[in-house]
């Protein structure tokens, strides 16, 4: 591992595995929920918090985690996040009550909020801008894009096999191995002392606002969108987020520098992430419920049914960063991905009650895999374009935040429609819920058309620039 190329390859594998765990655990509990409910005798309203607690803490602390990576060191924050996540996974696996399991899911989400932006920013500063970084981000996106559907597959196999506790235990040996590898091979990135300015009030307002927003979305599904408590939490979220904007305008060292808000490509990518993952997470969530509740699939059969989506997402994303983004540009690929996920959901709006996998489900799952494979890594490349190295963690935190908030909005929206229309028939409920995903995809395609600059192309580096950046990267690796 002494050569720069070998070290970079190991860093790519490490960051991809770390991101894989974060996204995997968002989806891995879905198929196992009925078994957990039986063991702990949990009510439906309490059961959904096993999913919500993870997303709540992850979505709420991502932006703060990304900025802390810039201020405290990305390596340090990644190690801390992996340690917290691994310990919480073990404790979730030995949980003896639903309440304790939900609490540990929240701690897992907090650890994940440190892992995700740190992993992405480490990747961004390790690989030089241009073709090299795009290829690395393509692989990173391939892993992240396929993780959600792989989580469903793993959940089914483990739940039907050794039991649902292993969906948490499986993280422990992987987490320990990642901590050991990261501690040994990741270069130190101790930030300069003068850069350590903390926007405490900004951190409090944005984190509180995001947590309140995700909580309100999930509470609206359970208690109704017009309930006084739901409206009050939405109002609190709005006040906190507006306060964050006001604080940032006056802060001497803002959590989100003004230069970020002038980066049009990054803002467009963040908006795209909101709509894409709002649609895709809802697509996986609905598809999983549909197969178990409507088509009576077993957990294992439900999981294996997503294999096509996972494989296509992985292959498409691997090609995207290396070949497609340089050729077609960010804007066109994002629009294409939005169209694909919209078509996938539109296909399932015509789902018959006696649907078969081959003719009725497979075409939609193919389109879904292509959508996330094309668009996931493309959005990450766009979000990190024209971003200075000392702001890479913050930029990574923003796009990961938009990903999770979008996912929370998408799942909440389809759940509301599913519940409201299922009184008529379960088929009507699912068909109506898939219409919501079509709408999200249309909004995503329109926003990409309007928000991205007309030319959002990955520019190849000049020879002298590549040599300069490459030498700097080599020196940093050797110093590590």
pLDDT for the residue numbered 480: 34
Clarify whether residues 360 and 225 are in a common domain. Answer: no
Dihedral (CA of 284, 285, 291, 296) sign: positive
pLDDT for the residue numbered 307: 85
Task: For residue 300, count CB atoms less than 10 angstroms from its CB and return exposed for 0-12, middle for 13-18, buried for 19 or more.
Answer: middle
Clarify whether residues 284 and 226 are in a common domain. Answer: no
For the ranges 167-171, 293-297, 344-348, the lowest mean pLDDT is seen at 293-297
Clarify whether residues 276 and 287 are in a common domain. Answer: yes
Number of domains forming the structure of the chain? 2
Q: Is the pLDDT of residue 102 over 70?
A: yes
Clarify whether residues 237 and 261 are in a common domain. Answer: no
Mean pLDDT along residues 38-49: 77
| pLDDT band with cut points at 50, 70 and 90 for residue 464 | very low
Clarify whether residues 209 and 189 are in a common domain. Answer: no
Mean pLDDT along residues 1-26: 81
Helix axes 98-126, 74-93, angle to 10 degrees: 150
- % of the chain exceeding 70 in pLDDT: 89
Clarify whether residues 172 and 228 are in a common domain. Answer: no
As a whole number, the mean pLDDT across the chain is 82
| pLDDT band with cut points at 50, 70 and 90 for residue 217 | confident
User: Percentages helix, strand, coil for the chain, rounded to the nearest 5?
Assistant: 80, 0, 20
Clarify whether residues 49 and 185 are in a common domain. Answer: yes
Residues 6+ positions from 362 with CB-CB distance below 8 Å: 308
Mean pLDDT along residues 2-31: 81
Q: Are 295 and 421 in contact (CB under 8 A)?
A: no
Mean pLDDT along residues 17-41: 83
The winner for highest mean pLDDT among 243-257, 340-354, 383-397 is 340-354
Q: Is the pLDDT of residue 463 over 50?
A: no
Clarify whether residues 104 and 169 are in a common domain. Answer: yes
DSSP output for 339-403: HHHHHHHHHHTT--TT--IIIIIHHHHHHHHHHHHHHHHHHHHHHHTT--GGGHHHHHHHHHHHH
Which residue in the block uniquely carries the two structure tokens 């990409």? 448
Clarify whether residues 181 and 234 are in a common domain. Answer: no
Q: What is the pLDDT of residues 122-154, one digit of tens each?
A: 887 888 766 777 788 777 877 776 776 677 788
Q: Is the pLDDT of residue 101 over 90?
A: yes
Closest CA to 112 of 170, 60, 36, 183: 60
Q: Is the pLDDT of residue 299 over 60?
A: yes
Clarify whether residues 212 and 271 are in a common domain. Answer: no
Q: Are 68 and 199 in contact (CB under 8 A)?
A: no
DSSP state of 128: P
For the ranges 118-127, 256-265, 293-302, the lowest mean pLDDT is seen at 256-265
| pLDDT band with cut points at 50, 70 and 90 for residue 447 | very high
pLDDT for the residue numbered 82: 95
Q: Is the pLDDT of residue 406 over 50?
A: yes
Q: Is the pLDDT of residue 324 over 80?
A: yes
Q: What is the pLDDT of residues 165-204, one digit of tens each?
A: 999 999 999 999 999 999 988 888 766 444 556 677 887 8
What is the Cα–Cα distance from 476 to 479, expressed in whole angstroms? 5
pLDDT for the residue numbered 3: 64
Helix axes 33-40, 98-126, angle to 10 degrees: 150
Q: Residue 239's domain spans which residues?
A: 199-252
Clarify whether residues 326 and 266 are in a common domain. Answer: yes
For the ranges 219-233, 343-357, 362-376, the lowest mean pLDDT is seen at 219-233
| Residue after which a domain boundary falls, among 252, 284, 314 | 252
CATH number at residue 286: 1.20.1250.20
* Three-class secondary structure of residue 146 per DSSP: helix
Mean pLDDT along residues 92-99: 93
Mean pLDDT along residues 9-30: 84
| Residue after which a domain boundary falls, among 225, 252, 279 | 252
Clarify whether residues 165 and 274 are in a common domain. Answer: yes
Q: Where are the beta strands (DSSP E) in 130-176?
A: none
| pLDDT band with cut points at 50, 70 and 90 for residue 45 | low
Q: Is the pLDDT of residue 477 over 50?
A: no
326 compared with 91, residue with greater pLDDT: 91
- % of the chain exceeding 90 in pLDDT: 29
């Amino acid at each position: 591992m002494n050569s720069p190329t070998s070290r970079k390859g190991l860093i790519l594998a490490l960051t991809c595995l770390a991101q894989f765990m974060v996204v995997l655990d968002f989806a891995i509990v879905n198929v196992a929920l009925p078994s957990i409910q039986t063991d702990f005798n949990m009510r439906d309203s309490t059961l959904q918090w096993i999913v919500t607690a993870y997303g709540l803490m992850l979505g709420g602390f991502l932006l703060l985690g990304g900025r802390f990576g810039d201020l405290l060191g990305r390596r340090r924050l990644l190690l801390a996040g992996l340690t917290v996540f691994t310990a919480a996974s073990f404790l979730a696996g030995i949980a003896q009550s639903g309440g304790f399991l939900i609490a540990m899911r929240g701690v897992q989400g907090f650890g994940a909020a440190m892992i995700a932006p740190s992993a992405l920013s480490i990747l961004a500063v390790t690989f030089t801008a241009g073709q090299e970084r795009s290829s690395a981000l393509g692989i990173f996106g391939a892993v992240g894009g396929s993780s959600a559907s792989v989580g469903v597959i793993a959940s089914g196999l483990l739940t039907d096999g050794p039991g649902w506790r292993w969906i948490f235990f499986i993280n422990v040996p992987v987490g320990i191995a990642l901590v050991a590898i990261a501690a040994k091979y990741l270069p130190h990135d101790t930030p300069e002392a003068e850069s350590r300015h903390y926007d405490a009030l900004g951190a409090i307002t944005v984190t509180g606002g995001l947590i309140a927003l995700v909580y309100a979305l999930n509470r609206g599904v359970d208690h109704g969108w017009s309930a006084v408590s739901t409206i009050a939490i939405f109002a609190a979220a709005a006040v906190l987020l507006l306060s964050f904007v006001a604080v940032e305008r006056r802060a001497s060292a803002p959590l989100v520098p003004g230069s970020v808000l002038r980066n049009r490509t990054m803002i467009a990518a963040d908006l795209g992430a909101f709509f894409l993952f709002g649609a895709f997470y809802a697509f996986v969530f609905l598809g999983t419920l549909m197969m178990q509740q409507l088509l009576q699939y077993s957990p294992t059969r439900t999981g294996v049914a997503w294999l096509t989506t996972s494989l296509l997402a992985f292959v498409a994303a691997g090609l995207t960063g290396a070949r497609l983004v340089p050729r077609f540009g960010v804007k066109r690929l994002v629009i294409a991905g939005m169209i694909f996920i919209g078509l996938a959901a539109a296909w399932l709006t015509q789902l018959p009650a006696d649907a078969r996998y081959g003719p009725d489900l497979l075409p939609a799952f193919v389109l879904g895999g292509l959508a996330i494979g094309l668009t996931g890594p493309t959005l990450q490349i766009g979000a990190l374009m024209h971003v200075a190295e000392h702001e890479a963690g913050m930029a990574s935190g923003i796009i990961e935040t938009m990903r999770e908030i979008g996912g929370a909005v998408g799942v909440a929206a389809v759940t509301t429609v599913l519940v409201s229309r299922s009184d008529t028939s379960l088929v009507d409920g699912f068909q109506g819920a898939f219409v919501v995903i079509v709408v999200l995809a249309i909004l995503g395609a329109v926003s990409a058309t309007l928000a991205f600059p007309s030319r959002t192309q990955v520019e190849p580096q000049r020879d002298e620039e590549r040599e300069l950046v490459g030498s700097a990267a080599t020196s940093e690796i050797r110093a590590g």
